[in-house]
Amino acid sequence: KPFRIYKFRSMRQDAEIKGQAMWAARSDSRITRIGRFLRSTHLDELPQLFNVLRGDMSLIGPRPERAEFVANLEQTVPFYRSRLVVKPGLTGWAQVKYPYARSDNDALIKLQYDLYYIKRQSFMLDLSIILKTVIEVLSLRGS
């Protein structure tokens, strides 16, 4: 179900050509200096806690994607829609195993991790994801 996701803006206001969604690259020139800091510390994701409190998102699950990306990925990546059966999460198995995606092929790899999580959800797996996420955030290895 579509919802408004909250984030701190980390890119220039004119980052998208004619409103067209584009994958972000790790050293993307559209990212501002402050945005690079926000991304490296993952602080750009902090407002999504509001989405969790509102019930739009869970703490753990497949990351939400923009509608434009979903429409494209459903056409190019088999079973992509299967990841939409659970509530999206602030962090997930795909994020701790394959942190950065910027292409359809990357989306396919992340989908495999998302489907693994969906099939094997458990308290221990969630705990593992939380611990790996904390380590990632503290290491400042963000995008």
Task: Give how many domains the chain has, as a whole number.
Answer: 1
Residue 1 placed within a domain:
no
Tens of pLDDT, residues 77-128: 888 888 888 999 999 999 899 877 677 788 788 889 999 999 999 999 999 9
What is the average pLDDT score of the chain? 84
Question: Residue 51 in contact with residue 6, Cβ under 8 Å?
Answer: yes
Residue 12 placed within a domain:
no
Residue 42 has pLDDT above 90, yes or no: no
**By residue range, what is the domain housing residue 93?**
17-139
State pTM to two decimals.
0.76
Mean pLDDT of 63-77: 81
pLDDT of residue 101: 67
pLDDT of residue 129: 96
Q: Rounded to an integer, what distance in angstroms lies between the CA atom of residue 24 and that of residue 39?
A: 12
Pairing between β-strand 89-91 and β-strand 58-60 as defined by DSSP bridges: parallel
Residue 2 placed within a domain:
no
